[in-house]
Amino acid sequence: MRRFAALIAAVGLGAAIAWVTGLHVADLPDTAGYLVGTAALLAIGLYGSTYGIDLPSARQDGRLIATAVTVGVVAKAALIGTVLALAWQDPLFLLLGVVVAQIDPLSVAALMGDDRMTPRAKTILAAWSSFDDPVTVILTVYVAAIALDSTARHDPLSIAADLALNLAFAAVAWLVWRLVRTREWAVTALVALAAGVAVWQLWMLGLALVGLFARPRWLDRWLPRLTTGALLAAAVLVGVLLTGLTAPIALVQGATLGLAAFTAQIAVGWLLTKGLPRQDRWHLALAQQNGITAIILALRLESTFTGIAAIVAPAIVATNLTHAAVNRAHDHP
């Protein structure tokens, strides 16, 4: 809850900065610096989320994790989007369902020292929350293109090509890492170069894969601070952006989006974890939280879908408050 309070304070700080400086917020999402900056924040979050995964433990449940971050993400996004698009009679919720379908890896990282979950459940949740983020980013690109009636990038061949480029990018980085892995400075340079390319091309799945092997040891100490800083910076940007909205914050629509995301995780999580101990299944089913990826996607989409941040911001609050209340009730009946 302390971190959640810090996020709320960061949003307030962003709003105050925009108000005091008289920043012309309406034009901000269309600037090159804004687009590069939000991509950089997303890159930090995704690399940080995969950096700390315990690979030997994750391999034991590799099939479940792979299913969760592919079939699970698509199922959650479709469930959230379809139900709310019908309820609100607004197809924009098909896109919003994708934006909030992922589980925030930074929020999950805060749970890793908690003894409520078994080590196996923690490993599954850490990997799940790490890789559903880049999958969500890719889905968002194509669902947004479809929403704009673009014919350039949403055909199946384009999606396959983009996935292939992400995988090729990660494969090249892995080959370079194999050559330089004994030299800390060279691995650091590789990570920096990979992050730069990922921001440039928005190859976030590739960067997430790089985080599985290119791990400079000095980052053990600094990466948690860097990812937390990225999350707070994203929250400040949300605060800035909210001051320029032409419509008021959509509290009711946002709350329904947040509750739908939490409910969809219960349905999909419970189905996918069949075979795990009952308590582990419940902890994974009640794991939905939203954070940096939902914030950044909302910030990037605002330049095309004006007002989307007004729905996503309260949705994040609703999801996280529901997570805190329901998990507390589950663990302390």
Residue 63: CB atoms within 10 Å: 9
Q: Is residue 3 part of a domain?
A: no
Name the amino acid, one letter, at 283: H
**Over the stretch 232-281, which tens digit does the pLDDT of each residue have?**
888 888 788 778 766 678 899 999 999 999 999 999 999 999 989 999 99
pLDDT band for 109, please (50, 70, 90 cuts).
low
Domain that includes residue 283, residue range: 14-331
Whether pLDDT at 152 is above 50: no
Q: What is the pTM of this model?
A: 0.81
Q: Is residue 7 part of a domain?
A: no
Q: Is residue 6 part of a domain?
A: no
CATH number at residue 87: 1.20.1530.20
**Virtual torsion, Cα 301, 303, 306, 308, nearest 10 deg:** 20
Q: Is residue 1 part of a domain?
A: no
Q: Is residue 24 part of a domain?
A: yes
**Over the stretch 121-145, which tens digit does the pLDDT of each residue have?**
888 888 898 888 878 887 887 788 7
Q: How far is it, in rounded angstroms, from Cα 65 to Cα 67?
A: 5
Residue 226: CB atoms within 10 Å: 14
Q: Is residue 25 part of a domain?
A: yes
Per the rule left: phi > 0, alpha: psi between -120 and 50, beta: everything else, 277 is: beta
Phi, psi at residue 112, to the nearest 5°?
Answer: -65, -20
| Of 62 and 84, more confident | 84
Name the amino acid, one letter, at 324: A
* Number of domain units in the chain: 1
| Structure tokens, 110 | 């805060």
Q: Is residue 106 part of a domain?
A: yes
Name the amino acid, one letter, at 57: S
Q: Is residue 110 part of a domain?
A: yes
The label of the residue with tokens 């629509």 reads 253
